[in-house]
Amino acid sequence: MKLAVLGTGMVGQTLAAKLDALGHDVRLGTRDPAATLARTEPGAFGNPSPAAWAAAHPRIGVVTLADAAAHGEVVVNALSGAATLAGLEQAGADHLAGKVLIDVSNPLDFSRGMPPSLSVCNTDSLGEQVQRRFPAARVVKTLNTVNANLMVDPGALAGGDHTMFVCGDDADARRQVAGWLREWFGWRDVVELGDLTAARGPEMFLPLWLRTWGALGTASFSFKVVR
Amino acid sequence: MKLAVLGTGMVGQTLAAKLDALGHDVRLGTRDPAATLARTEPGAFGNPSPAAWAAAHPRIGVVTLADAAAHGEVVVNALSGAATLAGLEQAGADHLAGKVLIDVSNPLDFSRGMPPSLSVCNTDSLGEQVQRRFPAARVVKTLNTVNANLMVDPGALAGGDHTMFVCGDDADARRQVAGWLREWFGWRDVVELGDLTAARGPEMFLPLWLRTWGALGTASFSFKVVR
């Protein structure tokens, strides 16, 4: 499948590399490809620099957000929360129209220090903001509740015995994404939460995730819905 | 131990009954004991009316919030989020001073319909509001992430293989409460999140909890931190 991943941070790198390894035709979108490919400093989480990463993944074209979105039959938003709305504007509403837009971003606000607060929550969510701004896209929120490695390899933790959430206004898109989570990455327990107002749940889960990270001293954990 | 449970809803009933069954000397606090004991309609969750409940638990005195707090060496706030600050004022700062105050409440705001939003979140929490208003109390936030039955009987679900969170500014109080969760109720996995700013995490978890409840069709579920 032709896929677009928007965002060259650790999440974008990890998702694009996995989807490429699965045999998909992947483009990685960034605001300024030349500037991105000139960056040789390692990422904030020990991940490779964009230059090193691109050299290691020669099949994945690093292109503009608009070119990536135009390429993808499905678009994955792996931009930071703060960059999401502006980045998707650059990707272009026409290139998102009618497509499943998998939104894995979190509206983290680092302006008040660590741990971050949220830039939107409670009676709204970033997922809903994206859907309102791009009404013809079929937004599905998922994967934002685990770190990048677990997104694409849940089996690396407890044999995959933990839970992922999916929500979105388009029930067909929601079910498609739930199926891809199983097929592409091996998620075994996918809970469909319903329409996109449910995105407030997984996004507002981040403060608990961040504090649990601090308490455990590792980001390699996940939550299982025990029932 | 002499214990006070404030609030006569399902959570207060369940906690008080369990603590009484364990042999503690429990008082249940309510704003107007005579009015509470005159109520014969069943609770919102199929739980007994206050009158029926009190008749079934003759050892547990149903008294004013102030009398209950004065009695308790440890005080449990099981009031609704909306009633918490005013109720604790009635309980009396002097009766809370120096005591561990176990806060199990959630700042749910039902004024916008269902599912509820939160009356405070993101850069503050109800737990922190309680601590600021009653600085001499040793506030510990816990148990607000499961339904009443699981609070006191985690073993009823998956043999207790799920997680409870504890946070509070007083490290000794936090550890004491973690110990009581194990000893009183049988919680096996208790994660200490640190100071009371961490209460934003478990409180902001409620939207995900509520949506998961909707998706599963049962409130008898809990989250396990898989690591």
The type of residue at A145 is T
ipTM above 0.90, yes or no: yes
Q: Please state, in angstroms and rounded to a whole number, the distance separating the CA atoms of residues A96 and A117.
A: 29
Tell whether A161 lies on the interface with B, counting CB pairs under 8 A.
yes
- How far off is chain A from B118, nearest CA to CA, in Å? 6
pTM of this structure: 0.97
Query: What pLDDT score does A216 carry?
Result: 98
Nearest chain A residue (CA) to B108: A122
B30 in Cβ contact with B65 (< 8 Å): yes
Phi and psi of A60, rounded to 5°? -90, 110
Amino acid at A176: Q
Query: Percent of chain A having pLDDT more than 70?
Result: 100
Per CATH, the architecture of B2-216 is what? 3-Layer(aba) Sandwich (3.40)
| A109-134: average pLDDT | 96
pLDDT in tens, B28-69: 999 999 999 999 999 888 889 999 999 999 999 999 999 999
The pLDDT tens digits of the residues spanning A137-156 come to: 999 999 999 999 999 999 99
Mutation for testing the B interface, residue in A108, A117, A121, A122 having most B CBs under 10 Å: A122
DSSP state at residue A79: S
**B224 contacts A223 by C-beta, under 8 angstroms:** yes
Determine whether A159 is exposed, middle or buried from the number of CB atoms within 10 Å of its CB (0-12, 13-18, 19+): exposed
Mean pLDDT within B63-87: 98
Q: What is the pLDDT of residues B106-137, one digit of tens each?
A: 999 999 888 999 999 999 999 999 999 999 99
| Percentage with pLDDT > 90 across chain B | 96
Mean pLDDT across the stretch A128-133? 98
| Cα–Cα distance, B78 to B92 (Å, whole number) | 16
Domain ranges of chain A: 2-216
Would an 8 Å CB–CB cutoff place A160 in contact with chain B?
Answer: no
| B 57-116: CB under 8 A from A | 112
Q: A221 and B226: CB-CB below 8 Å?
A: yes
Q: Looking at residue A43, what is its pLDDT?
A: 87
Q: Is B46 left (phi over 0), alpha (psi -120 to 50) or beta?
A: left
